Amino acid sequence: MNKISKVAVATAVSLALGGCLEVEDNNNNADVVAALEAQGEANLAPITLFGKVINAADNLPVGEARVSIKVGTEWREPVVVSGEFSFTELPVNTDVVVLIESTDNSFMDRVFFGKTTNVDTGQVASQSMGDLKVSEAVEKSFSVLNTENSEPVEGLVFKYLTASTFSGGGTQSGLAEYEVSSTYNQDTGQYSISLAKDLYYSLTASPDIDGDGVIDVRPENNSFWSYDSIRVVSDVALQLDTMYVNETEAYQPVELRITVIDELGENIEGVEFFASDLYQGRLETTFDSDTNEYIFNYQSSSGVDLNMPSFTTADDITYQSASIDLNWASENTLSISDWGFRNNLPGSIDVVNGVASITVQPRVGSTTGNYIDRVSSAINENANFSLNQFYQAPIALTDNSVELERRNVFKVIKGNESSNDLVAEGTTQIGRVSENVEVTAELSHNDTFLVASPDTQLTGGDYTYRVNQLVNPQTGNEFNSNYATNFSVPVGSTEVPVFNINDLRLDNNNGTTNGSVIVAANTAGIANNTTDNNSSASLYFPRSILSLDFFELNRVSFVRDGNNYINDDQIRVVNGDSVYVNQIQLISLANNENIERIPGAGYVSAHYFTALTDGEWYYSNSSVYLGDNTNAQINTVTFSYLYRVKGEDTVHEGTITLSVR
């Protein structure tokens, strides 16, 4: 990717605007503004985009296709065409996505993305997308086999995307939904996928089967390997029947044989072992009655905890829960440790011909006390951040044994919302509070394993699990677990909308917009008599900036009451995972509203007299004092910008002029 000088971009824009001079205020301003606005409205959508849908097999127009276009974030109604199509009245310099679908399944869906062109003021333009090629689908099946034993290898996901840019720009955000992915058939041991017959693309698959960041398999044929990824080009994929792969050292299968004995050295039967692996899910053991051994088959490059729940024998002897921590130390050695057994495991054991063996002796359980210790506790991120706890002995639950709360939730209580609260009319209380999240708690594995799962999907934020009163079934008495753990749920990609530079806002927070009062009266019904006045204008960013890899702005000029000023100031917004602008809550209130903190609630940073939508934003103070942008007085600020969406190569740059709200 070419290196881009951010300073050079900002400087170029500044020089381009350097000819702006301060304009004397006079009575003709209103006429000038009206003329400019009329001219702007005429040029909001001057672009016509056209193209032709071509069959890639013969380069002839398709008989019929359904073509849809997304402009920014909005889809227009699809049109059915025979080859050629066009879309009119498109805005300049705007991301668009064109989706082409078959009306009779004669070809596969395909998307094209790009950006509409720029035009000079007063001009219109026709922009060609060229020939957009589509292809019929071919259903393809193939095998992936272990080179050593010719056994099928499952767990891979082959996928490809035929999206293509028509303008060399535009954003690829949201195109992943058009990826084509493979499925695996357990009965045949084969992968199946729909392939585009006459297009060029690459079929790829991650060699990290269990998702722990370690490569598990590598193709024997090096032509199928590219930059730590399995890769098959389209023409080869259409002919592929079998791919052989070698397992890496960190992914060798191991058969762990466990002998369980009592204090007299006698074998104990009927013991349960289970593992819950972060990447492979639930793993069970089997029992070999000929050797009196429990067999745990494990194949992963990640570690695992093998749990033995507390149990009672036919002789009414109760044994405590215990666990075995298993991991690879080297190609032929397992790292192994334990918790809860009478004997200490050696720390490492040899793997001979794929087999390793250990002997364990459980501890006899004690019923003299009420408190029961935890063996382990974990938050399972792959199961909606459920709480998983393993106990030394069986437990029982009460109605409120497990609680989950979301911390730092922004809350607003307005005085006129309810007659049942203690907030007086004319007053609004705000603060950060904790809110309960309903959970379902269940026991399994002889009532030694507790799983508490949220009843709704958790969204990004801070949370706390609390485990309170539990019951010791052996005594019938309750005991307080006194357990609490804090965890954070990252903001998911589905929670962050697609970034659009046009979502930036500029507001002076003076309680008026376009010169008129925003909120006519406070919550007591008393009129808000505030008037438009010059105030520090803040630049507001939507939450979608969290999807950016970097984002920089440079203020290059502003207009105050119709007079132009050159004013340079760089604003750093995002760089990697660092966000340099401040998070803020917006609440639109009357200027004469009394604002208080909710008693006992945490502090919250908020702006109150805004023209923007209530909720979470990010902001930076522009240090420019401006009134509202009105028909009578122009108040705007112009910025140059440079940004890139995470995971993309395209760098977006340009200028934007924002009106003060």
CA distance from start to end of the chain: 38
Pairing of strands 355-360, 254-260: parallel
Beta strands in 423-562, from DSSP E residues, in sequence order: 427-437, 439-444, 449-454, 461-472, 477-489, 505-507, 512-513, 516-517, 535-541, 548-560
Q: Give the span between the Cα atoms of 623 and 555, in whole angstroms.
A: 11
Identity at 498, one-letter amino acid code = V
* Selection from 539, 534, 478 nearest residue 505 by Cα: 539
CA atoms within 13 A on the CB side of 77: 2
Q: What is the pLDDT of residue 171?
A: 57
Q: From the CB of residue 151, how many other CB atoms can be counted at a distance below 10 Å?
A: 10
Per residue in 457-467, pLDDT (tens digit) is: 998 899 999 99
Q: What is the pLDDT of residue 276?
A: 66
Per residue in 437-450, pLDDT (tens digit) is: 999 999 988 888 99
* Selection from 239, 231, 226 nearest residue 204 by Cα: 231
Q: What is the pLDDT of residue 182?
A: 95
What 3-state DSSP class applies to 497?
A: coil
| Tokens found for residue 135 | 């292809």
251 burial (CB, 10 Å; 0-12 / 13-18 / 19+) is buried
Where do we find the tokens 């112009």?
638
Q: Mean pLDDT lowest for which of 406-410, 467-471, 492-496, 584-588?
A: 492-496
Q: Which residues contact 363 (CB under 8 A, 6 or more apart)?
A: 319, 320, 322, 340, 341, 342
| Tokens found for residue 83 | 């080859």
Give the DSSP letter string of 597-653: EPTTPBP--EE-S-SSPSEEEEEEEEEEEE----SSS--EEEEEEEEEETT--PPEE
The answer to whether the beta carbons of residues 210 and 302 sit under 8 Å apart is: yes
Size of the chain in residues: 661
| Tokens found for residue 160 | 């490809």
Q: Give the span between the Cα atoms of 72 and 47, in whole angstroms.
A: 14
Per residue in 338-374, pLDDT (tens digit) is: 888 988 788 888 888 889 999 999 998 765 678 888 8
Q: What is the pLDDT of residue 419?
A: 77
The answer to whether the beta carbons of residues 33 and 634 sit under 8 Å apart is: yes
Q: What is the pLDDT of residue 293?
A: 94
Per residue in 119-158, pLDDT (tens digit) is: 776 778 899 998 999 999 999 999 999 998 999 999 999 9
* Selection from 517, 510, 402 nearest residue 463 by Cα: 402
| Tokens found for residue 350 | 């040899």
Q: What percent of the chain has pLDDT over 70?
A: 89
Q: Give the span between the Cα atoms of 98 and 134, in whole angstroms.
A: 13
The answer to whether the beta carbons of residues 435 and 404 sit under 8 Å apart is: no
Strand order in the sheet with 563-575: 578-579, 563-575, 548-560, 636-645, 652-659
Q: Which residues contact 287 (CB under 8 A, 6 or more apart)?
A: 269, 293, 294, 295
Q: What is the pLDDT of residue 170?
A: 55
Query: For residue 407, is pLDDT > 90?
Result: yes
More confident call, 520 vs 282: 520
* Selection from 73, 136, 70 nearest residue 108 by Cα: 136
Q: What is the pLDDT of residue 444?
A: 87
Q: Mean pLDDT lowest for which of 84-98, 290-304, 313-327, 553-567?
A: 290-304
Between the CA of residue 462 and those of 408, 410, 534, what are the distances in Å?
Answer: 7, 12, 38
Position 5 confidence tier, pLDDT thresholds 50, 70, 90:
very low
Per residue in 534-562, pLDDT (tens digit) is: 899 999 999 999 989 899 999 999 999 99
Position 16 confidence tier, pLDDT thresholds 50, 70, 90:
very low
What is the arithmetic mean of pLDDT over 499-512? 93
Q: Give the span between the Cα atoms of 428 and 363, in whole angstroms.
A: 60
Q: Is 237 left (phi over 0), alpha (psi -120 to 50) or beta?
A: alpha
Query: For residue 632, is pLDDT > 60?
Result: yes
Q: What is the pLDDT of residue 15?
A: 33
Query: For residue 620, is pLDDT > 80?
Result: yes
Q: What is the pLDDT of residue 529?
A: 93
Buried b (16+ CB within 10 A) or exposed e, 520-545: ebbbeeeebebebebbebbbbbbbbb
The answer to whether the beta carbons of residues 170 and 650 sit under 8 Å apart is: yes
The answer to whether the beta carbons of residues 607 and 619 sit under 8 Å apart is: yes
Per residue in 178-216, pLDDT (tens digit) is: 889 999 999 999 999 999 999 999 999 999 887 767 788
Q: What is the pLDDT of residue 383?
A: 87
Q: From the CB of residue 191, how many other CB atoms can be counted at a distance below 10 Å?
A: 23
Strand order in the sheet with 281-284: 281-284, 274-277, 304-308, 322-330, 333-339, 347-350
Q: Give the span between the Cα atoms of 94 and 71, in whole angstroms.
A: 7
Q: Which residues contact 104 (CB under 8 A, 6 or more apart)?
A: 64
Q: From the CB of residue 143, how many other CB atoms can be counted at a distance below 10 Å?
A: 16
Q: Which domains does the chain have, with CATH numbers?
A: 6-22+495-659 (no CATH), 45-134 (2.60.40.2190), 143-158+178-250 (no CATH), 253-360 (2.60.40.10), 394-490 (no CATH)
More confident call, 346 vs 564: 564
Q: Give the span between the Cα atoms of 108 and 105, in whole angstroms.
A: 7
| Tokens found for residue 503 | 């979502």
Give the DSSP letter string of 28-47: THHHHHHHHHHHHHHTSS-E
Query: For residue 278, is pLDDT > 60?
Result: no
Between the CA of residue 378 and those of 219, 385, 401, 408, 540, what are the distances in Å?
Answer: 35, 9, 17, 22, 39
The CA dihedral of 193, 196, 199, 205, to the nearest 10 degrees, is -10
Position 8 confidence tier, pLDDT thresholds 50, 70, 90:
very low
* Selection from 408, 379, 406, 385 nearest residue 457 by Cα: 385
What is the arithmetic mean of pLDDT over 50-68? 94
Q: What are phi and psi of 607, to 5 degrees?
A: -115, 140
Q: Give the span between the Cα atoms of 138 and 275, in whole angstroms.
A: 41
Q: What are phi and psi of 538, to 5 degrees?
A: -100, 140
Q: What is the pLDDT of residue 72?
A: 76
Pairing of strands 137-146, 242-247: parallel
Q: Give the span between the Cα atoms of 557 and 13, in whole angstroms.
A: 10
Query: For residue 9, is pLDDT > 60?
Result: no
What is the arithmetic mean of pLDDT over 100-107? 94
The answer to whether the beta carbons of residues 587 and 606 sit under 8 Å apart is: yes
